[in-house]
Chain A
Amino acid sequence: MYQNHFVVDAHTHFWDGSPANQINRYGEGFIKCFHDYHSNLSPDEYKWPLEDFERYSEERMIRDLFENGYDDVAILQSTYLTDWYVNGFNTTEQNGRIAERHPGRFIVNGRWDPRDGEAGLGELERLHERWQLRGVKLYTAEWKGYSKGWKLSDPWAYRYLEKCQELGIRNIHVHKGPTVYPMNRDAFDVADVDDAATAFPALNFIVEHVGLPRLEDFCWIATQEPNVYGGLAVAMPFIHSRPRYFAQIIGELLYWLDENRILFGSDYAIWQPKWLIEKFVDFQIPDDMQGEYGVLTPQIKRKILGLNAARLYDIKVPGEFDVPDEPSDSGPAIASDSASSGAAA
């Protein structure tokens, strides 16, 4: 909780990227790439040396998220990457155990991979039974032997999305962001999200990293699909080093989506919620840009920092922190108008 904001951190990890857990140079490169993002976009006083970053203690995580970091609830995302890490990078089991030791603090998201076929469907059921999943994190670019990725529109992915629907796992987080992995077909669009969001209107698709660095592709899809949401991990840290660029990103998102479909996520341990939240609450669109982008109201900030995610995850928000949902008039009318223009780049 920070000032009068109820904070749901929709994107956190308890990972093990240490050399002992690395299988190959890809595992090493992956965590180093994360560390580059961390070093590039964090304020100096929040930068960790690589060895701290590769693996951190449970105590440190609790302190960074809840004691110093203002998170009220944190959603733990699962990322397996078992071709690169002996015990996986952060599995549902590992996340679940820390969640059980700190009741009320965490929500544990599972994962699935359509390349696991029939067996994976059974495994998803078991994960759900064990951890009462309300969401999953999907890494469409995860390597699996010879295969370098998959699409949400693949027939087997549909089987898994159907299974999610059947089990009541409504929140589908998809990593569509910076290329921390070698995927061609993932390299310039989020088209498979468009496809799946249309086919499964009862599921919520949270596009992590708002498609950066292909923001416009994400905005285009989100504008047309009311069940597509944007996760701000990776975008939010620009608030420190490139505040004017952050103003542009948040301005574009508010224009094409609206304030009800944008979710805060620190991406811990890449970034710490404390400084992100402090800076965001203090942030305003620069004067000379307000003509184009308007202003960030306290209500918009409260929704982004927690209330939007609370709605998706049925998290009880203490009454004094809640704000009424208001219909928003952005989005669909504009998109449907320009959809016929052929202007989509």
Chain B
Amino acid sequence: MRDLAWAALAGVRDPELDQPITDLGFVASLEVASLDVASLDGATPGTGDAGIRVELRLPTYFCAPNFAWLMVADARDALAAIPGAGPITVTLVDHFAAAEINSAAAFADHFQTDGLDGDLEELRSAFDRKAHVAAQERLARQLAPLVGDRLGALTLAEASRLAPDAAQAVARRRERLALVSDLAICDERGAPIAADRLGVWLRLARTVRVSVDGNAELCRGLLRTRYGVTRS
């Protein structure tokens, strides 16, 4: 069950960083029932008779509550989907909005105030689109030396033969976006990028990728500073 729980958590991503919360070191502890207690960094685990208890932590006290909310909610959903998991408790620790987020009420009940958007799905979708652009840029970088000026017309199936991992990463992100396209490189509606626009389009995609990658670096560094570890 512990392995199943960990695998379920590995499917939860930081919406902005596009990386699993397990890789990022955001899972502070995982307890499965009361007989299989484990703590990931040697801290004393909590007690109780819950089916699965998870504590999540973030790189700073002030991490945006909307992202935190999404990760906590996604972790609950992922764990609850495990057959026979029993009661699920996911708790955010060391965060200024922990009490509100841990209450498991609707996000908007707590945060729909002046200056805050209640629409988390829109936020998620914005970052899914960025993740897709960044993944395509990584793919294009691998493909360009192999296919030259055919890049804009290359199908995803062909790309999968030439660069399987990078192509699969693109496919996964398309799935999240429900974006259907046969092309390896396409715009956010699935349409091809015209040959004369491809260069500039990939140039902007590179900036997106630098931004996403760098952000993840910053968060890993901050988490290491805060807790002395980056991952389990």
**Chain A residues engaging chain B, CB cutoff 8 angstroms:** 25-26, 29-30, 32-33, 36-37, 39-41, 141, 146-150, 178-185, 187-188, 212-216, 219-220, 238, 241-242, 245, 248-249, 252, 255-256, 334, 337-338, 341-345
A36 CB contact (under 8 Å) in B207, B213, B225: B225
A341 smallest CB distance to B (angstroms): 5
Q: Which of B18-26, B35-43, B126-134 contacts A (4 or more CB under 8 A)?
A: B126-134
Report the bound CA distance from A75 to B70 in whole Å. Answer: 39
A37 smallest CB distance to B (angstroms): 7
Report the bound CA distance from A47 to B97 in whole Å. Answer: 29
Apart from the given pairs A184-B111, A215-B207, A338-B201, 15 other A-B contacts in the complex at a CB distance below 8 Å:
A36-B225, A40-B222, A40-B224, A148-B114, A148-B115, A181-B62, A184-B64, A213-B214, A216-B207, A248-B214, A341-B201, A343-B201, A344-B204, A345-B204, A345-B205
Interface residues of B: mostly helix, strand, loop or mixed?
helix
What are the residues of chain B within 8 A of A337 when measuring CB–CB? 197, 200
Report the bound CA distance from A334 to B204 in whole Å. Answer: 10
Report the bound CA distance from A332 to B130 in whole Å. Answer: 23
Is A182 within 8 A of B225, CB to CB?
Answer: no
What are the residues of chain B within 8 A of A40 when measuring CB–CB? 221-222, 224-225
What are the residues of chain B within 8 A of A334 when measuring CB–CB? 200, 203
A159 smallest CB distance to B (angstroms): 18
Report the bound CA distance from A242 to B218 in whole Å. Answer: 9
Number of interface residues of B (CB under 8 A): 49
What are the residues of chain B within 8 A of A37 when measuring CB–CB? 222
Report the bound CA distance from A26 to B59 in whole Å. Answer: 16
B64 CB contact (under 8 Å) in A182, A215, A341, A342: A182
Report the bound CA distance from A183 to B226 in whole Å. Answer: 21
The answer, yes or no, to whether B88 is at the interface (CB within 8 Å) is: no
Is B114 within 8 A of A184, CB to CB?
Answer: no
1/0 per residue, CB under 8 A from A, across B154-169: the answer is: 0000000000000000
Is B207 within 8 A of A213, CB to CB?
Answer: no
24 contacts between A and B (CB under 8 A): A26-B96, A29-B96, A40-B225, A141-B115, A147-B113, A148-B114, A148-B115, A179-B62, A182-B65, A184-B123, A187-B64, A188-B127, A216-B211, A242-B214, A242-B217, A245-B210, A248-B210, A256-B207, A337-B197, A341-B197, A341-B201, A342-B187, A343-B200, A345-B130
Is A215 within 8 A of B211, CB to CB?
Answer: yes
B64 smallest CB distance to A (angstroms): 5
Is B64 within 8 A of A183, CB to CB?
Answer: yes
Report the bound CA distance from A33 to B114 in whole Å. Answer: 24
Report the bound CA distance from A242 to B213 in whole Å. Answer: 12
Report the bound CA distance from A30 to B16 in whole Å. Answer: 22
Among A182, A220, A238, chain B packs the most CB atoms within 10 A around the CB of A182
Report the bound CA distance from A27 to B60 in whole Å. Answer: 14
A148 CB contact (under 8 Å) in B59, B113, B130: B113
Known: A187-B67, A343-B193, A343-B205. A30 touches B62 (CB 8 A): yes
The answer, yes or no, to whether B74 is at the interface (CB within 8 Å) is: no
The answer, yes or no, to whether B34 is at the interface (CB within 8 Å) is: no
The answer, yes or no, to whether B66 is at the interface (CB within 8 Å) is: yes
Report the bound CA distance from A32 to B226 in whole Å. Answer: 10
Is A185 within 8 A of B225, CB to CB?
Answer: no
Report the bound CA distance from A266 to B203 in whole Å. Answer: 29
What are the residues of chain A within 8 A of B178 when measuring CB–CB? none
Is A183 within 8 A of B115, CB to CB?
Answer: yes
Report the bound CA distance from A292 to B218 in whole Å. Answer: 23
A343 smallest CB distance to B (angstroms): 4
Q: Which residue of A lies closest to B118 (CB)?
A: A184
